[in-house]
Chains A and B, each alone.
Chain A
Amino acid sequence: MKFKVRAASQFLDNVRRDLTRPHAFAFERVGFVYAREAVVDGGPSLLLPFAYAPVADAHYMPKEGVGACISGDAIREAMAFILREDACVLHTHMHENVGMPKFSRVDVRNYPGVVRAFQNTRPDRPHGALLLSRDAAVARVWPVGAAEPVMDSLVISVGRPMGIFSEGAIYG
């Protein structure tokens, strides 16, 4: 099972704008991108972002050694949304470099727990993580019921210019 996350570049730029707002003490911001899953004939599963919710300032907690630590309430708000809207969710943050972003070791260590919470809430949908840079993006998506993510998901930013990204590669 492969995944393709395809979104309007305007949508991703709006998310970038939100994630670059400074926070009182956190070094980076976190948000949730909500997506609809579409069934594709002979291709990857398509995830189509349709909404974004930033984590509220009050849901950040001080923690050494990480860019941002968010509370259980923030996760619970995302869980409530996907339950209500029958949606997939991508935990989203941004590294402020140009070019391909790379998931950090902290990201890789923490995602399984967060994704498990989403899988428990909405087990019939894939969930995962989206990492943005200033001009690119990568995603890791956990298929339904999977303990491990699919590594070579594509992220397509549709606009002018278009971007086609997968971990380690920029197309276009």
Chain B
Amino acid sequence: MDDHSRQSFLNPQLDRAMKACKVGVIGLSGGGSHIVTQLAHYGFDRYVLCDPKTTERKHLHRMLGATIADAEASAPKVEVMERLIRGLRPHPEIQAFKGEWISCAAALKDCDVLFAAVDTVGARRDIEQFARKYAIALIDVGMDVSRANDGGYRVAGRVFASLPGGPCMQCAGFINNDMLAKEAAAYGMAGIRPQVVSVNGVVASAAVLYAIDLLTGKTGKVALPCFITFDAGSMTMGPHPYLSVVTSPCECFSSSEIGDARFVPIG
């Protein structure tokens, strides 16, 4: 028997919503493992999980739920996350795929809310296009470490909520063709991608809160920014400045692009 009495103020129907709503999580390491953990604690019961990788020692500093034994056994990350959910939920429905997200596209289509915790601009572009095609609410998380002017590091996280009809990542200036071109030109030279477990935790928490807000309407008519940044240096979270120039409604995706790709024989 679930006891969610301490979160019942959110919405009396949240429990039922969490049973009906299918959530997908793409990428199960730094950001994704936090998201899965929180979703399971909240009480979500229907999951599609995907990640191509197995657990290694280097993941233990950021992947919630992973153990030394998982790293030594090279346990697939999807199995670690499935075990974590089953430890918190009595009867979850989990579709776990060890592979690239597109390999489980046919399962991901059924998700109503999709979380993406991926590393590349191209993957973000592809996942957002996928989400728009199937009218899925997409919540993307990520973090960056860059050199600051004072020689130190600037650690920042961000959450982007892409809803059908709302501003997309291109509208908001989060991704653009130059970034995609640069990424393609620099392919294979990405080096290590720094991750900080607590920054991942902050942005993952914001992403899950966003999803809970979608399901409960708790914040009512207060406009939530779709693009949120967290600056670890100043410990502040707020709307991304790019939002001030967002054009809405989105002109990048049209309703005619809905659904599976269409194949037409020539001639």
What is the interface of chain A, defined by CB distance below 8 A to chain B?
Answer: 4, 6-11, 36-44, 46, 48-51, 154, 156, 158-162, 164, 166, 169-172
Contact = CB atoms under 8 A, between A and B. Distances in A.
Contacts of A49: 258
B12 to A, nearest CB: 11
Contact of B259 (A4, A8, A42, A50): A50
Interface string B78-119: 000000000000000001000000001011011011000000
A45 B103 CA distance: 19
6 contacts: A11-B255, A40-B109, A41-B95, A42-B107, A43-B110, A172-B17
A50 B258 contact: yes
B19 A46 contact: no
A62 to B, nearest CB: 34
B213 interface: yes
A170 B135 CA distance: 19
A5 B137 CA distance: 14
A161 B215 contact: yes
Nearest to B95: A42
Contacts of A42: 95, 107, 110
B259 A160 contact: no
A41 B130 CA distance: 15
A166 B14 CA distance: 15
Interface residues of B, number: 38
Nearest to B161: A160
B260 A38 contact: yes
A48 to B, nearest CB: 5
Contacts of A171: 13, 16-17, 19-21
A46 B134 contact: yes
A151 B16 CA distance: 19
Given A10-B164, A11-B165, A39-B260, A160 B214 contact: yes
Nearest to A45: B110
A160 B162 CA distance: 11
A36 B13 CA distance: 30
A156 B46 CA distance: 15
Given A41-B110, A161-B216, 16 more contacts: A4-B110, A6-B112, A11-B255, A38-B109, A38-B134, A39-B109, A41-B109, A46-B134, A51-B255, A158-B136, A159-B166, A160-B163, A161-B213, A162-B137, A162-B215, A171-B16
A171 to B, nearest CB: 4
B134 A172 contact: no
B213 A160 contact: yes
A37 B217 CA distance: 29
Given A39-B260, A41-B107, A50-B256, A160 B112 contact: no
Contacts of B135: 6-8, 48, 156, 158
A36 B261 CA distance: 11
B145 interface: no
Contacts of A160: 163, 213-214, 217, 224
A44 B213 CA distance: 25
Given A36-B259, A48-B258, A50-B259, A10 B137 contact: no
B11 interface: yes
B112 A156 contact: yes
B13 A172 contact: yes
A165 B104 CA distance: 26
Interface in B116-145: 133-137
Most buried by A among B135, B215, B256: B135
B134 A164 contact: no
B105 to A, nearest CB: 8
